[in-house]
Amino acid sequence: MKTVVTACTRDCTGACSILASAEDSKVTKLRGNKEHDVTAGFLCKNTSHYLKTYFYSSNRVLHPLLKENNVWKKISWNEALDIAASKTSEVIKEYGSSAILYYQGFGARTALQAMNRRFFNLLGGVTTTYGTVCGGIGHSAMELDFGTKISHDPLDHINSNLIIVWGRNPAATDVHLWRILRKAKRNGIKIVVIDPVKTKTAKQADEFIQPAPGSDLYLAMSLAKIVLETDNVDYGFIENYTKNFDSYKKILGKYSFGYLSDKCDVDLDKIRELALEYAQGKPSSIITGWGLHRYVQGHLAFRMIDALAAVTGNIGVSGGGVSQGFEEFEYFDFSSVELNERGKNQRKLPMPKIGEAILDTDNPPIKLIFLASGNPVNLNPDSLKVKEGFDSANFVIMMDHFLNDTSESADLFLPTTTYLEEEDLIGSYGHNWVSPINPVVPPQGEAKSEFEIFQLLARRLGIFDEMSGSAKDWLKKLAAPILGQGITFEDLQNAPQRMIKKTEIPFADMKFKTESGRFEFIEELSVKDISIEEFPLKLLSTMAEEFIGSVVPESELVDGFLEVHVHPDILKENNLADGDKALIESPIGSLVVKVKEDDEVRKDYILTYKGGWLKYNKCVNVLTQPIMSEIGDGTPYYDTRVRIKGIDNS
Ligand SMILES: Nc1nc2c(c(=O)[nH]1)N[C@H]1C(S)=C(S)[C@@H](COP(=O)(O)OP(=O)(O)OC[C@H]3O[C@@H](n4cnc5c(=O)[nH]c(N)nc54)[C@H](O)[C@@H]3O)O[C@H]1N2
Ligand SMILES: Nc1nc2c(c(=O)[nH]1)N[C@H]1C(S)=C(S)[C@@H](COP(=O)(O)OP(=O)(O)OC[C@H]3O[C@@H](n4cnc5c(=O)[nH]c(N)nc54)[C@H](O)[C@@H]3O)O[C@H]1N2
Ligand SMILES: [Mo]
């Protein structure tokens, strides 16, 4: 028996360091690695079941597949690579390399994927994407306020007196942050959850505030207004380290308490209590989540939350701050590996509107698509349009472990390895550690790493010299900034490494990365009304605890209905009852769903989860609008307006 240190590469804040045991080339057990102080020696449900439900799942594809007459058929790697290479060179010859779209999803977030991008740059540059279907919006807000996005170490929250979990559900989506919050609670630190949904996290908090979706800016403004009115302001911080305070104060002055409390639909007494606790209990920390990113003007909520932390002087102090997450790729040197300067024909299409963008692109049009670790037909807004976009290309090549909704539009499937079969490094967007990924067993079936696939393609396309070398050689190059800090490559391969010392508190030196060098308050507020009379409800589609992204449990891979939670009053208004089938319509689509009566949801939205398959009629994104946020090129999924009506249930 042997034990190997590796790390989970799935799309999650954890990027957990794992100890994998193997016997006779069979992985027998995965355990959390105690050498990592955030992921702390335990694994989430999804990783605990990973061997059975993912790695050894009978649905995992272990041979290259080619679609002929709409049926997948097994082919050899030689054949698959020859086809991929000849499609690539034909398209380049006829249309130029920018007629190729390389779409990289969020399914795996490792360092070595830089080699995929290098490959495309060596071909002369291809079309890629800009913007994001994940964070983005909040990051741009933080850049405006602080000049950069940095967060407090998750372990620093233990030093707070009060923690506000704002638009995040770590009990389901980040069990390691949840462990820290539970410990904080045991230590007597008050946990407040602000979420329109009574989530698993909310149910275990000391205080739960359930505002209207998309109204957090008003809530943050009213909290700050009370702070000003009761003179709980940190004037020292404001005078010495901030800019635009007067303009910000003027904005607050324009709105009455009545208006603000109405808009967020939170009782003023409750707001007052929280404002005083937050300001007087200093240090207080705010942990923001992805729920805040999902609105056209989501940046306004983030900027008002940052401002609240600033007026109370909760910046630059241990146990304080506004923490969104971490830049998982910041520790690596990508530029020298990716060779962007060689990709002269680069073009970028907006990820939030990828379907329409593919269809509208001309000169040259998109002819060939390479897709790695993503499922855009399922998870990007306006699924049917994304499908139309992918279907419009002459040929689609995908690299994944499983067939998914986007495979319906693909022509060639190249099976890739997982974190139990390959060598790589991974950062995290939930903490500041980098962890090694090491092969535990040889690749299953005929799976190959993306790194090897692109090397084999490079050989066929005459660019092998610049793609050759071992994974280790390239990882050393990518990790150069880490190796410069006295960590050896062997250290990095043997154990997870903390990149920033625990004691480092963001902005403790009061130096901000903005142009002024100060924290910059929001100066102007212009709120757009994007409500639509005919579609009175919002549609929230959050993460499920039981699976990640669109890799749903096997039992879900059957025709059925998306389950949506609806308030009893809304059901009554529409002559619906628990368990009924109903039609949800949005400005761009409609879907037959099954309703679940739920008196814990608010009356202004319908709640469901993301990731259900289009193929089985359970994909919420047939309803979501393909629009971009005002700032940050993000995806405002939850600003989709809908209505619900009964259908014949017989
Ligand atoms: N099990 C599991 N874990 C995951 C994932 C998964 O699919 N499954 N996905 C991973 C990914 S890709 C990400 S980005 C993270 C996301 O991690 P989280 O941010 O924890 O996940 P979400 O479910 O998006 O949670 C957002 C919360 O915001 C709330 N919300 C919605 N609108 C508003 C609003 O207007 N105001 C406020 N205050 N709250 C609002 C939602 O009700 C929801 O509870 O999780 C990662 N972890
Ligand atoms: N309605 C709605 N839509 C949403 C969201 C929402 O809250 N509501 N959340 C958004 C968010 S936060 C995100 S991050 C996106 C995610 O969107 P995507 O990244 O497009 O979707 P995933 O299902 O996470 O895609 C992962 C795919 O990668 C594959 N994969 C996993 N590991 C590997 C690997 O190591 N190599 C390769 N080649 N493939 C691998 C999986 O099998 C899966 O098919 O979805 C967004 N979509
Ligand atoms: Mo995400």
* All domains of the chain in start order, with CATH: 151-325 (3.40.228.10), 537-646 (2.40.40.20)
Ligand 1, atom nearest to 45 Cα: 1
Which of 213, 232, 214, 235 has the alpha carbon at shortest distance from 224?
Answer: 232
Give the number of residues written for the chain.
Answer: 650
| Distance from Cα 12 to the centre of ligand 1, integer Å | 11
Q: What is the pTM of this model?
A: 0.97
Q: How many A from CA of 602 to the centre of ligand 2?
A: 28
Distance from Cα 294 to the centre of ligand 1, integer Å = 10
Q: What pLDDT, on a 0 to 100 scale, did the predictor assign at position 117?
A: 98
Which residues fall within 8 angstroms of residue 585, CB to CB, at 6 or more apart? 535, 623, 642, 643, 644, 645
Q: What is the pLDDT of residue 501?
A: 84
Task: Report the alpha-carbon distance of residue 53 to residue 553 in Å, rounded.
Answer: 7
pLDDT score of 422: 98
Torsion angle, CA of 381/387/389/391, rounded to 10 degrees? Answer: 170
Residues in contact with ligand 2 (CB, 6 Å cut-off) = 9-11, 105-108, 133-134, 290, 372-376, 379, 399-402, 404, 416, 418, 450, 541-542, 549-551, 610, 620-621, 624, 637
d(CA 383, CA 405) in angstroms, rounded, equals 10
Instruction: Please give the pLDDT value at position 640.
Output: 96
Asked if 174 contacts 8 with a C-beta cutoff of 8 angstroms, the reply is: no
Residues of the chain by 3-state class (helix, strand, coil), percent to 5 = 35, 20, 45
The answer to whether the CB of 601 is under 6 A from ligand 1 is: no
With a 6 A CB cut-off, is 133 part of the ligand 1 pocket? no
pLDDT reported for residue 109: 87
For a ligand 1 pocket test, name from 45, 304, 543 the mutation site with the most ligand atoms within 8 angstroms of its C-beta: 543
Q: Residue 648's pLDDT is what?
A: 79
Which residues in the chain land under pLDDT 50?
none
Residue 107 CA: which ligand is closest? Answer: 2
Closest by CA to 418, choosing from 81, 116, 74, 27, is 27
Q: Tell me, what's the pLDDT at 576?
A: 97
Ligand 1 centroid to residue 639 C-alpha, Å: 15
Residue 167, ligand 1, Cβ within 6 A: yes
Nearest residue (by CA) to ligand 2, atom 19, is 106
Q: Whose CA is nearest to atom 31 of ligand 1?
A: 291
Residue nearest to ligand 2 atom 9, measured at CA = 134
Residue 132 Cα to ligand 3 middle (Å): 9
